[in-house]
Amino acid sequence: MGSSHIDLTKRHTDKPTFSAEKMAEVQGYIQSYPEGKHKSALIRILHVAEEEFGGWLSIETMDYVAEILNIQPIEVYEVATFYTMFNLEPVGKHVFEVCRTGPCMLVGSDEIIEYIGNKLNVKVGETTADGMFTLKTVECLGACGYAPMLQCGKKFHEYLTKERVDEIIESYKEGKVPN
């Protein structure tokens, strides 16, 4: 976990509105909590918002979520900026989240992060010019026994080597989810 800041220059151009399907999902999360405890659905709703609105949370999106939950926008900002799992600026189609905690570092995650950055010509936190990849570092992903590793979406890629990273990148470029 870590903190992040909100970049007020990054905005969606239109007021966000959930599709009927996503709004039904959001309402389901809200209704799963007792009256007065709807804020407990915030993290789930932020995930839905990222999925619905391009993979990141703009100020407008966070304000919209606050409106739905009938809470203050700052309450949404506090959660979104605290957890590294939320993106506060536009990201690439594929977000490589490379673990950088002790166990992964001991077996070369720093070298893998540097290799991916050089391969994609980006620094940590940046997105490739074609919008295909974003490179992030994150805290423990809970796969210490398979280090070094990265997560892309819901897929874990473990026991990383430079050759394995090359295969992963090429697979995603080809529109395939690598094994």
Whether residue 119 is contained in a domain is answered as yes
Taking only the tens place, the pLDDT of each residue in 25-70 is 999 999 999 998 999 999 999 999 999 998 999 999 999 999 999 9
Taking only the tens place, the pLDDT of each residue in 105-136 is 999 999 999 999 999 999 999 999 999 999 99
Domain count, the chain: 2
Q: Which of 99, 100, 112 is nearest to 152 (CA)?
A: 99
Amino acid 78: pLDDT = 95
The pLDDT of residue 158 is above 60: yes
Angstrom CA distances, 165 to 48, 72, 107, stand at: 29, 42, 15
pTM: 0.77
Query: Both 116 and 78 in a single domain?
Result: no
Q: Residue 21 CB: number of other CB atoms within 10 A?
A: 9
Whether residue 13 is contained in a domain is answered as no
Whether residue 3 is contained in a domain is answered as no
Helix or strand or coil: residue 16?
Answer: coil
Q: Residue 118 CB: number of other CB atoms within 10 A?
A: 9
Whether residue 45 is contained in a domain is answered as yes
pLDDT averaged over every residue in the chain: 90
Rounded distance between C-alpha atoms, residue 106 and residue 101, angstroms: 9
pLDDT band at 6 (very low <50, low <70, confident <90, very high): low
Query: Both 99 and 76 in a single domain?
Result: no
Show the tokens assigned to 177: 């989810």
Query: Both 115 and 139 in a single domain?
Result: yes
The CATH code of the domain that includes 108 is 3.40.30.10
Which value, to the nearest 10 degrees, does the dihedral of the CA atoms of residues 143, 178, 110, 132 take? Answer: -130
Whether residue 121 is contained in a domain is answered as yes
Whether residue 27 is contained in a domain is answered as yes
Query: Both 112 and 66 in a single domain?
Result: no
Query: Both 108 and 168 in a single domain?
Result: yes
Which value, to the nearest 10 degrees, does the dihedral of the CA atoms of residues 11, 15, 21, 26 take? Answer: 80
For the chain, count helices (H), then strands (E): 7, 4
Which of 82, 106, 136 finishes a domain?
Answer: 82
